Structure 1
Amino acid sequence: MAGKTDPEFEFVLPDLRSLFADLKAFQPKLATDVRRDLRRSGDDIIAKQRAILTGRLPGPIRKTGSELRMVYPKGRKPYLAIRNVYETGEGSDGGVDDLRSKIRAGLKTSVTSGKTRSSVQIKTTGPRNDGYNMAKVWQARRFRHPIFGHLGWMDQQGMPYFWGPAYDGVEDMQRKVQKILDNAVATLSKG
């Protein structure tokens, strides 16, 4: 089950439940086909996300110092704060990466047609480790983790894979969803 801050992208649709009820009453196979097509509407976005996750591993990251910077929070007064400065290194090709393969496998498009909410969403079920959704952690630009076999922690560069392709493909996905729903309504009106 996804938490409030898990990577998730959603289209809210008007009364999908009654449309599916009408389709099932008219032709049950048509309802199944429409639901399947809606689940496939996010395939292009998911393919781009998986391509990012298949690419080069992110390089190491290390703290190089700190600087005084103005911070502009929403709805509050700006203030000066000390922020860390990081340097990133070159990534590497290949290597065994079970985490990224589990994140790739968890990416999916789901259709919800309940009493209170109707939507089509792209989300990841992501692997969980000690209560953390690792798909969310990997999405960050930088995260900290314990070093295996040593006492201490290290910074690691993340791999923002989710939101870029989602924002780039949002209009295309909206068109696909609208076309699928228009075709379903047209089929109902013919019958």
Structure 2
Amino acid sequence: MCDLEFIFSKKRLEHYQSINEHFENLKLISKIIPKIAILEIYLRNALDYEISLDNQEWIKTSGNPFLLAKINEIKDKENLEHHQILSRLSLGAVAGLIREYKVQNKIFNLKTFDFRKYSSSNRNFFIYENTKQGFDNIDKVNIILNLLHTLRNRTCHFENLLKINKVDNKLYPRISTKEKGTNIGLMPENIEYFLDDLICLINKDLLDYFTRG
């Protein structure tokens, strides 16, 4: 029988305070992966819907350099249909295309979204010429896309989502992004709340599926 150090590797376990923390992290991952999946599927389909209003074959006819570069990474792209290419685009590519085509306001309405819910270090504003300026909806969507992309990648690589940064005796999230010079992040205990809040913006009834026996 293999011991735990052999199974997980000594190097990996060094990133955890204990083996129990490792399993607590896996439990969190098991809870949030389906929710991340819902959001990734939504973003992909919402992007496609908005751009298809003007051109249903936008993927194959687009001259957008960013999209063309992503398509060129796909094997057998010439033999794939529109929906097949779309399904092969990574979350990072989808997030990038949402920005490229400037459809953030069509994807989410984050007017009342409060980033302070997810870390006490977060702010809902940035500083411009020594003046506080509130994030507009496009800023907020960009923040959401970056956080979701980072969270998705770390989750799918089974990284330690429970780790936090400590600076001058203050605690800060490791899962974070910067928008207009302002850091926004997710503390571990608020990751699932963050995903739930986003899902509720799409369709709050979706969360019922996670509570059914």
Q: Normalization by structure 2: what TM-score?
A: 0.25
Relative contact order higher in (CA < 8 Å, ≥ 6 apart):
1
Tell me which protein shows more helix as a share of its residues: 2
Larger radius of gyration between Structure 1 and Structure 2: 1
